C-alpha cells in the first residue's frame, strides 16, 4: 500500500521515537514558509480528556457552520484520523500526496515521526486560513512539535495527572513538573482550565501561569455545570446560564470535558456560538474509544444482549474517572485489560472497585506492550484474575449473566485493535 510505504520511510528519519526539541520542526516549517503562523487555533494540553474536549468543540462548531481542521494523536484505527481538514479526514491518496511533499521538503534530514506529521498538518491547514484549528499537544508541551504557534484563540488545560513519567528524570517525576512542562509556555490569549483532581493541582497550575497575561477561566470559579434530576444539564458562566440536553456520550468526565469546550467557545466572542448551537452540538459528538459502546459487530455477537464497552484510558487518573462511571452502574462488571510496558499497571488497577473478573490479554502488533501473562502475574493480588492470549478468547471466557457488562481498557492501542477486530 503506497501510504504505508511512505509512513514506513518517515518513521526511519530519526533513531528515536521521541526527542524533545523544537529545532527540527522549526527548520522544516521555515522551509515550508512557516505555515503555522497563518492558523487560527485552539490548543489543547493536559493528561486526560484532550481528545474528548476536541470532539465536543468540533461538534458545536459544526452546528455554528464553522469549518475545522483537527490534529490529534495517537490514531486509533488508521493514521488518517489525525488529519481532518474542512471537517473531513484526508483520504489515503491525499494523505500520501501530502506526506510526499513534506518528505521532499525535509530532504532526508533527521526528524521524529511526530514532528514531520505536525509539519504536514501545519502545511495543509494553512491552505484553509479561515478554518478553526483544534490542535492536541503531544507528550508534553514545552518541547512538543505543536508548540511553535505564534498566537492562538485559546489554550485549554484538561485534567493533569501522572503519565509518561519515563520521559522525565527520576527526581522530577512529579505532578508539579508535568504541570510546568504542559503550561509554562502557553500563548497569551484565553486559558480555560478544566476540572482538576485536587485543589493542589489547581494551585500549581495557577502558579505556573501566573505571569501569563491571558484571560483565565477556571472550572468552579468561572464556569460550572450541574446535572438535574429532571434530565437536563444546567451550565453557567459569566455570560449567563443555559439549560442543556443530556449529551450522547457516557460518563461524568465527558460532562466535564463538554463544559470546558462550552466555556472555551463562549470566551471567544468572534465565533458567535449561540445557545442553540451548543444544545444541538453536544447531542452529536463523535468519540472513538472513549467509553464507546460496541453495539454491533463480530465481538458484540459473542455476548449478545450484554453491553460491551471499549475505553482507551491508560493512566491512574483515567482509571479513576472510569471507575466513577462503573460505580454508578447496578450490575456486574468484567474488565479485559491490556497495557503498554511503561505504564503503572498496579496503580491503574487499584482504582477499580467491585470488579467481578479481570482478564489480561496481549495487545497485538505492539512490541512495547506488556505481555498479558506477565501483566496477570503482576496483578495476582486482585481477585478473579486470569490470562487469555486473544481478545476473542478473553470475551468468550467470561461467564456473563443478565445485565453484566464487559469493559475492554488499558490502552488506546488495545482499543484500536478491538475496533478493527470488531
Report the pLDDT value the prediction gives residue 230, as an integer from 0 to 100: 83
Please give the model's pTM, rounded to 2 decimal places. 0.94
pLDDT in tens, 350-374: 999 999 999 999 999 899 999 999 9
Asked if residue 271 and residue 216 are part of one domain, the reply reads: yes
Asked if residue 368 and residue 338 are part of one domain, the reply reads: yes
Which of 187, 197, 159, 163 is closest to 177 using CA atoms?
163
Asked if residue 55 and residue 192 are part of one domain, the reply reads: yes
Report the pLDDT value the prediction gives residue 77, as an integer from 0 to 100: 92
Asked if residue 244 and residue 356 are part of one domain, the reply reads: no
Report the pLDDT value the prediction gives residue 161, as an integer from 0 to 100: 82
**287: in domain:** no
Asked if residue 174 and residue 40 are part of one domain, the reply reads: yes
C-alpha grid cell for residue 304? 449478545
The boundaries of the domain holding residue 259 are 2-281
Asked if residue 240 and residue 337 are part of one domain, the reply reads: no
**286: in domain:** no
Contact of 64 with 270, CB cutoff 8 Å = no
**51: in domain:** yes
pLDDT interval class at 157 (50, 70, 90): very high
Domain boundary among 245, 262, 281: 281
Contact of 7 with 148, CB cutoff 8 Å = no
Does residue 164 register a pLDDT over 80? no
Contact of 346 with 410, CB cutoff 8 Å = no
Which of 90, 89, 211, 223 is closest to 156 using CA atoms?
223
Asked if residue 275 and residue 359 are part of one domain, the reply reads: no
Amino acid at each position: 500500500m503506497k501510504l504505508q510505504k511512505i509512513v514506513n520511510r518517515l518513521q526511519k528519519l530519526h533513531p528515536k521515537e521521541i526527542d524533545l526539541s523544537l529545532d527540527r520542526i522549526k527548520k522544516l516549517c521555515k522551509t515550508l514558509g512557516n505555515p503555522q503562523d497563518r492558523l487560527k487555533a485552539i490548543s489543547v494540553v493536559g493528561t486526560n480528556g484532550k481528545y474528548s474536549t476536541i470532539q465536543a468543540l468540533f461538534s458545536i462548531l459544526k452546528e455554528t457552520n464553522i469549518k475545522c481542521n483537527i490534529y490529534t494523536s495517537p490514531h486509533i484505527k488508521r493514521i488518517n484520523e489525525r488529519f481532518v481538514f474542512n471537517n473531513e479526514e484526508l483520504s489515503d491518496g491525499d494523505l500520501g500526496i501530502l506526506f510526499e511533499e513534506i518528505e521532499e521538503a525535509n530532504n532526508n534530514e533527521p526528524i521524529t515521526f511526530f514532528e514531520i506529521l505536525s509539519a504536514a498538518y501545519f502545511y495543509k491547514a494553512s491552505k484553509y486560513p479561515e478554518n478553526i484549528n483544534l490542535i492536541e499537544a503531544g507528550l508534553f508541551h514545552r518541547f512538543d512539535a505543536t508548540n511553535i504557534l505564534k498566537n492562538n484563540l485559546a489554550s485549554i488545560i484538561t485534567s493533569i495527572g501522572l503519565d509518561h513519567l519515563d520521559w522525565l528524570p527520576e527526581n522530577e517525576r512529579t505532578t508539579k513538573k508535568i504541570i510546568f512542562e504542559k503550561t509554562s509556555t502557553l500563548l497569551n490569549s484565553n486559558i480555560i482550565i478544566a476540572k482538576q483532581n485536587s485543589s493542589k493541582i489547581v494551585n500549581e497550575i495557577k502558579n505556573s501561569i501566573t505571569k501569563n497575561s491571558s484571560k483565565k477561566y477556571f472550572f468552579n470559579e468561572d464556569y460550572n455545570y450541574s446535572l438535574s434530576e429532571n434530565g437536563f444539564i444546567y451550565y453557567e458562566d459569566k455570560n449567563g446560564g443555559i439549560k442543556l440536553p443530556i449529551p450522547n456520550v457516557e460518563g461524568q468526565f465527558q460532562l466535564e470535558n463538554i463544559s470546558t469546550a462550552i466555556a472555551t467557545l463562549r470566551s471567544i466572542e468572534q465565533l458567535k456560538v449561540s445557545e442553540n448551537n451548543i444544545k444541538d452540538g453536544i447531542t452529536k459528538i463523535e468519540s472513538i474509544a472513549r467509553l464507546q459502546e460496541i453495539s454491533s459487530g463480530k465481538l458484540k455477537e459473542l455476548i449478545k444482549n450484554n453491553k460491551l464497552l471499549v475505553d482507551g484510558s491508560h493512566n491512574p487518573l483515567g482509571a479513576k474517572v472510569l471507575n466513577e462511571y462503573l460505580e454508578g452502574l447496578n450490575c456486574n462488571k468484567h474488565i479485559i485489560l491490556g497495557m503498554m510496558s511503561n505504564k503503572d499497571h498496579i496503580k491503574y488497577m487499584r482504582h477499580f472497585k467491585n470488579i467481578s473478573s479481570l482478564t489480561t490479554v496481549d495487545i497485538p502488533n505492539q512490541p512495547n506492550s506488556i505481555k498479558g501473562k506477565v501483566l496477570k502475574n503482576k496483578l495476582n493480588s486482585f481477585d478473579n484474575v486470569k490470562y487469555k492470549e486473544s481478545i476473542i478468547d478473553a470475551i468468550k471466557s467470561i461467564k456473563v449473566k443478565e445485565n453484566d457488562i464487559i469493559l475492554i481498557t488499558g490502552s488506546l492501542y488495545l482499543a484500536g485493535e478491538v475496533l478493527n477486530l470488531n
